[in-house]
A and B are shown apart, each in its own frame.
Chain A
Amino acid sequence: MACQLLMFIILNLSSNFTTISDSNIMNETHSLQNETETRESRTATGKFTLLLFASASSYTGTDTLTLPSMNLKQLCEHLEQQYPGIGAKILRSSGVCVNLEYVEFEYDGLMQGRKGCGEDVVIKGGDEVGIIPPVSSG
């Protein structure tokens, strides 16, 4: 009797477990599909994702923005307009990467129209751009 009860509990537990892990897998698959879809739709609509790390994120109060495709100078101008002061306080000392690769970027030079400071960087729909300020804390 006790043995049957135990069996019942085990079976029940294991069937519950299966259900849970199944639904987890389904959710994961679903969210992966979603991610691919949004990336594709971003490409189609010409939007890119801007990732704001560390102090860039605390300055803007967000860690991700979705923006229409533009060049790097326009992006800096857009950010300065939306978050006044971000240029001098954050962008000036930050690095910028596009699709996980650093690009040549120097804020002051770019704003003053100096050559070789990032004026050639065009951000296309579907790109992932990161603003990476130095973190010195530990």
Chain B
Amino acid sequence: MDSGGADAARILGEIEALKATKSDIEAKISALEAQLKGMSCRNDAVLSNGSCPPAAAVAAEAGLGHGLSPEMIYRYSRQLLLPSFGVQAQSNLLKSSVLVVGAGGLGSPALLYLAACGVGRLGIVDNDVVELNNMHRQIIHTEAYIGRSKVESAAAACRAINSTVQIVEHREALRTSNALEILSKYDIVVDATDNAPSRYMISDCCVVLGKPLVSGAALGLEGQLTVYNCNGGPCYRCLFPTPPPTTACQRCSDSGVLGVVPGIIGCLQALEAIKIASTVGEPLVGRMLLFDALSGRIRIVKIRGRSLLCEVCRENATFTRQQFQEFDYEKFTQSPLSVSAPPKLNLLPEDSRISSKDYSERLRNGEAHILVDVRPEHHFRIVSLPNSLNIPLSTLERRVAEISSALKEAEGQRDASLYVICRRGNDSQRAVNYLQKTGFTSAKDIIGGLESWARDVDPSFPTY
């Protein structure tokens, strides 16, 4: 049995190693193919050897004034056949460049469709790595890329779909120091980020550079979509001059999101970018689309025009490149530009806190106690520690009596202790703070919550 287990582990290890090598090789092949395409279409030296004439040359020889090669005509034939799109729109598209900021839930479908439809140059900015809990919505990535750069993964996927598109990888976080330089190289910007400071920063940068901005957002079962700074329309600040307080900034990692919802908004972002790039149709300017997945409703709200008071985009506004570079977006929105985890609170004195390791000791020693888990009920249903009592923080005030009676029940000869736990150790501190004020003076929070339990005590305990 033992040797069977060891064999299985060895085979699994080998599979993993081979998979990693395979995806490495695939990425290299597609990068080289893209490089070759770029060379053969620009380099006259190659042409003089007669190996690969550029597309435009072929098109000219065949008497095609629009610059589409025979291969392109065949590849894009289904959209060339559309009377309202046709060869002129495709030709515009092929000459355009689009930058997608964020290769996550919104960026995934946006990038795939932009690559597939044939924009000329497609840039991808992101600084994250692919994680298992991304996979349900960030459909551009595959399991083989877990732990590796999202930009690398997304670029390989785009090249695999359309090797004729020039894919540009920006493996860095967008900041005021690099945003002007990166955004200025593209015609259209797609905001597919996940945090408030990035949204203000990208919008301001687009105003400074005069670029249209296709902005999408999704959370839970709702989505928003509009095009800013285009045809005299408003910018993000015109619409939302006051950033939301940190507490109202919700993250997918806290509030949850149904994978297909950002998928739908990301597809609509691709559509808006395609419309602007090909100059077909009417971009969603001055209107905001609100998508409600639960009721299956889409509302289009007429939004305001450019605000006369907007500090950045109003007529005669003097928001310069230098001011942009010096603006502190994290301070302005009171939230960080990257949203890996919420900031750690430190509300309580040390003697009101206990590490998960110490708690597990006390558990082993049979200490009389009760453990209150203050996470929301739907979190508690995912996973919880045995014998914990679920009283969500929002209901704590009216359910204090339950804690008193549970404590009485748990009391043997000694007083029972009271421990409070949550997911990451912030809400448990807020709860202990409240409980101590209402008379439970010995209440302690478990530092770092269930995440620290999983990290330091029981690695098999599920995290989410």
User: Are A and B co-members of a single complex?
Assistant: yes
Chain B residues 243 to 271 lying within 8 A of chain A, measured CB to CB, are 243-245, 247-252, 255, 257, 262, 265-266
Known contacts A134-B199, A138-B216; A89/B299 CB under 8 A: no
Q: How far in angstroms is the closest Cβ of chain B from A102?
A: 5
Are B245 and A135 in touch, CB under 8 angstroms?
no
Question: Chain B 114-132, CB within 8 Å of chain A: the 1/0 string?
Answer: 0000000000000000000
Known contacts A102-B302, A132-B288; A54/B245 CB under 8 A: no
Q: Identify which of A12-20, A22-30, A93-101 touches chain B.
A: A93-101
Main SS at interface, chain A: mixed
A72 within 8 A of B: no
**A137 touches which of B245, B257, B301 (Cβ 8 Å):** B257
Are A134 and B240 in touch, CB under 8 angstroms?
yes
Known contacts A95-B239, A138-B192; A55/B299 CB under 8 A: no
Once bound together, how far apart are the Cα atoms of A93 and B196, in whole Å? 12
B222 within 8 A of A: yes
Question: Chain A 99-130, CB within 8 Å of chain B: the 1/0 string?
Answer: 01110101110000000000000000000001
Once bound together, how far apart are the Cα atoms of A92 and B242, in whole Å? 7
- CB contacts (< 8 Å) of B219 on chain A: these are 54, 135, 137-138
Are A137 and B242 in touch, CB under 8 angstroms?
no
Q: How far in angstroms is the closest Cβ of chain B from A127?
A: 14
Once bound together, how far apart are the Cα atoms of A59 and B248, in whole Å? 9
- CB contacts (< 8 Å) of A97 on chain B: these are 301-303
B106 within 8 A of A: yes
Known contacts A54-B219, A97-B301, A130-B301; A135/B242 CB under 8 A: no
Known contacts A53-B290, A58-B250; A93/B240 CB under 8 A: yes
- CB contacts (< 8 Å) of B252 on chain A: these are 137-138
Are B239 and A138 in touch, CB under 8 angstroms?
no
- CB contacts (< 8 Å) of B384 on chain A: these are none
Known contacts A135-B219, A138-B218; A55/B248 CB under 8 A: yes
Known contacts A58-B255, A92-B242, A133-B244; A138/B262 CB under 8 A: yes
B10 within 8 A of A: no
Give the residue name and chain of the A residue nearest to B302 (CB).
Answer: A101
- CB contacts (< 8 Å) of A63 on chain B: these are 292
**B301 touches which of A55, A59, A100 (Cβ 8 Å):** A100
- CB contacts (< 8 Å) of B265 on chain A: these are 138
Q: How far in angstroms is the closest Cβ of chain B from A11?
A: 33
Are A100 and B299 in touch, CB under 8 angstroms?
yes
A7 within 8 A of B: no
A21 within 8 A of B: no
Known contacts A53-B290, A95-B240; A137/B199 CB under 8 A: no
Are B300 and A100 in touch, CB under 8 angstroms?
yes
Number of interface residues of A (CB under 8 A): 29
B425 within 8 A of A: no
Are A136 and B199 in touch, CB under 8 angstroms?
yes
Once bound together, how far apart are the Cα atoms of A101 and B302, in whole Å? 5
Q: How far in angstroms is the closest Cβ of chain B from A93?
A: 4
Chain A residues 21 to 66 lying within 8 A of chain B, measured CB to CB, are 53-55, 57-59, 63
Are B303 and A95 in touch, CB under 8 angstroms?
yes
Give the residue name and chain of the B residue nearest to A90 (CB).
Answer: B248
Q: How far in angstroms is the closest Cβ of chain A from B190?
A: 11
Once bound together, how far apart are the Cα atoms of A9 and B218, in whole Å? 46
- CB contacts (< 8 Å) of A104 on chain B: these are 304
**B290 touches which of A92, A132, A137 (Cβ 8 Å):** A132
Q: How far in angstroms is the closest Cβ of chain A from B258?
A: 12
Q: How far in angstroms is the closest Cβ of chain B from A51?
A: 8
B195 within 8 A of A: yes
Once bound together, how far apart are the Cα atoms of A59 and B192, in whole Å? 25
- CB contacts (< 8 Å) of B288 on chain A: these are 132
Q: Which of A92, A101, A102, A106 gathers the greatest number of chain B CB atoms within 10 Å?
A: A102
B194 within 8 A of A: yes
Question: Chain B 212-233, CB within 8 Å of chain A: the 1/0 string?
Answer: 0000111110111000000000
Once bound together, how far apart are the Cα atoms of A89 and B192, in whole Å? 24
Q: How far in angstroms is the closest Cβ of chain B from A100?
A: 5
- CB contacts (< 8 Å) of B255 on chain A: these are 58, 137
Once bound together, how far apart are the Cα atoms of A133 and B199, in whole Å? 14
Once bound together, how far apart are the Cα atoms of A111 and B410, in whole Å? 51
- CB contacts (< 8 Å) of B248 on chain A: these are 55, 59, 89-90, 93, 133
- CB contacts (< 8 Å) of B194 on chain A: these are 136-138
B193 within 8 A of A: yes
Are A137 and B251 in touch, CB under 8 angstroms?
yes
Once bound together, how far apart are the Cα atoms of A101 and B290, in whole Å? 13
Once bound together, how far apart are the Cα atoms of A92 and B106, in whole Å? 27
Q: How far in angstroms is the closest Cβ of chain B from A118?
A: 12
- CB contacts (< 8 Å) of A53 on chain B: these are 222, 290, 292
Are B193 and A132 in touch, CB under 8 angstroms?
no
Are A138 and B217 in touch, CB under 8 angstroms?
yes
Chain B residues 11 to 46 lying within 8 A of chain A, measured CB to CB, are none
B392 within 8 A of A: no
Of the A-B pairs whose beta carbons lie under 8 Å apart in the complex, a sample of 14, sorted by A's number, is: A55-B244, A55-B248, A59-B248, A63-B292, A89-B248, A93-B248, A95-B239, A100-B302, A102-B239, A108-B242, A134-B244, A138-B104, A138-B105, A138-B193
Q: Which 6 A-B pairs have the closest CB atoms?
A: A135-B217, A138-B106, A93-B244, A137-B219, A136-B196, A134-B240
List 8 additional A-B contacts (Cβ < 8 Å) besides A130-B301, A134-B244. A63-B292, A92-B245, A93-B248, A102-B304, A132-B224, A134-B239, A138-B107, A138-B219
